[in-house]
Amino acid sequence: MWYHEFLNKYKAGISHEFLLNFNVRDLVDNCRYIDRFLYEEFIKQRNFGIVAFYDISTGLTFLEPGMEKEFNMITNNKAAELVYSLPSKIFPYIDMALKNTKTILFINHIEKIIPSGDIGSMSIEERMALIWLSEWSISPKISTVGSTIIMMTDNIADVSREILKSSYKVEPILVELPGEQERKTYIEHLLKDNKVRMDLTTDEFAKLSSGLSKKSIKDIKLKAEAEEVPISFEFIKEKKHSVLKKEYGDVLEFIYPEIGFEDIGGMDKAKNYLLKNIVEPIKKNDLRRVPMGILLCGPSGTGKTLLVNALAKSSGFNCVKIDMSRILGQYVGESEKNFKKCLLGAQSQQPVIVFVDEIDTTFRRGDSGDHGVSRNIFSEFLQFASNTNNRGKVIFIAATNRPDLLDAALKRAGRFDKKIPILMPEEKERAEIFRIIIEKYKFTTDITDFMPFAQTAENYTGAEIETVVRKAYEIACERELPESMITSDVLNQAIGKCRPSTKQIEFMTMLAVNECDDKDLLPDQYKDLIDDRERLEELLQEQLL
């Protein structure tokens, strides 16, 4: 896809200067890296007189000796001793070549030449390089001659934003990670030598390797071969986690859930909605039904985070969490750069669930007090979250107990366009939660009917019921009961000792009901209330007083 985008823009004359970014060190097909691929597919057919390569470590080099002679002839041999120089010395002579003969120039590690950050913090050398690169993009002489400049970087956020201003004509081209079919084809190519055993199919290998480059997939194969073990689900998961943590662990939290929908009590309407509108459509590749984003609203402790973990487990999709403490940096431009990397890392895992907890405090427009950092990150998030190309591939799920504090731009249709209330568990749900938590911790009990305890724990959240069960086990241990058994007496005593502590339950419940945009997702007792907005506002005001 990236090559077609590049070729179309080149042929249309949109630009002659391009910035290839992200997966630029990977194989394009089964055996060619980008430089060789572009040479064989693009350069050879277009009669470039000079093919040159530059980075600040190796200086200026040429594809063939004859091309170096051509360059020296154009520059009157004045650059012959400067090929290992910094941009300020060699770029004026490269400029002569670009304007006098059809030249293609590859500039590797462009982020080391014009790094991100405020222009005021750039060195004179970096500013001069920025000026040359910017002017080349709008030079009619370079365009007329047919010369082309291709810059490359792993992370576009590391490159000065000035180069991408609309006043210049530098076209960024995202080189994405291989898709599932591309990974499958490459895996089949790798396994032709039959040097490693497989405990899964190539289709399963291809699905499990989402988010990995071809180089990383090859490393998995080589490590299995070296360790003389078969390629299995656990082997891929372990190696994949290692690769992703090394690449994005500084800006993303990777979630590997242990529980599925069957392990959480209650929330049947929410679970059913997620299965019918996310899991099943994505697996069938019918993305029309998948919402762009989901906002989980409700009191603290009702299981919003637990639900996201269960969705990740039940769907088998990758799951990451945006943690702003990993993103915010102390230097100018660092936070924005980290956030771009965070979003790119999340996108590379598709299909992926991206979880944002307490979104009301995570994304805000901010003010001048933080030099515009919050505003820049907020704007970047809005743009990314509303990109319809991500539908069914990047599933944003956010949780909040104060949806009233969210910016209206976040909640509009096309971003978080489905609001699901996660409310206090009802009686039957509380009974189920008691049973599931006891089974989860493998506690011994002689209780078969948890309904009486569910009735006693009327105002308890799921998190508070878990506290009660753990307290019951503590009491059973102190009494030295056989096998520390949780009896009816022990559980009743624990309920009496652990009082519900969640504050503003009614207020947060009314906020969640008010935010809900689908009656089918509401408990029956709130369905009429959602139509009576005036009454709902009165209830909210009563809670505020």
506-527 pLDDT, tens digit each: 888 888 888 888 888 888 888 8
d(CA 408, CA 537): 18
Residue 433, pLDDT score: 93
Residue 288, pLDDT score: 87
Helical spans, DSSP H, in 348-445: 359-362, 373-385, 408-411, 427-440
Q: How many residues does the chain have?
A: 545
Report if pTM > 0.95. Answer: no
Residue 370, pLDDT score: 61
Residue 316, pLDDT score: 82
Residue 331, pLDDT score: 63
Short-list 134, 138, 115, CA closest to 125: 115
Q: Answer whether 208's CB lies under 8 Å from 201's CB.
A: no
Residue 544, pLDDT score: 65
Residue 536, pLDDT score: 75
Residue 503, pLDDT score: 65
Half-sphere CA count of 324, side-chain side, radius 13 A? 14
Give CA separation, 529 vs 221, 422, 523, 539, in Å. 58, 16, 11, 10
Q: What is the DSSP string of 59-85?
A: EEEESSHHHHHHHHHHTTTTTTT-TTS
Residue 249, pLDDT score: 82
Q: Answer whether 58's CB lies under 8 Å from 44's CB.
A: no
Q: Hey, is 168 helix, strand or coil? A: coil
Letter for the amino acid at 369? G
Residue 490, pLDDT score: 94
Short-list 502, 510, 511, CA closest to 405: 511
* Structural domains present in the chain: 2-175 (3.40.50), 180-248 (1.10.8), 261-421 (3.40.50.300), 427-497 (1.10.8.60)
Phi, psi of 44 (to 5 degrees): -60, -30
Regions in the chain scoring below 70 on pLDDT: 330-332, 366-371, 502-503, 543-545
d(CA 489, CA 33): 69
d(CA 376, CA 337): 10
Residue 217 has a CB neighbour count (10 Å cut-off) of: 24
Residue 543, pLDDT score: 66
Residue 311, pLDDT score: 92
H/E run at residue 16: none
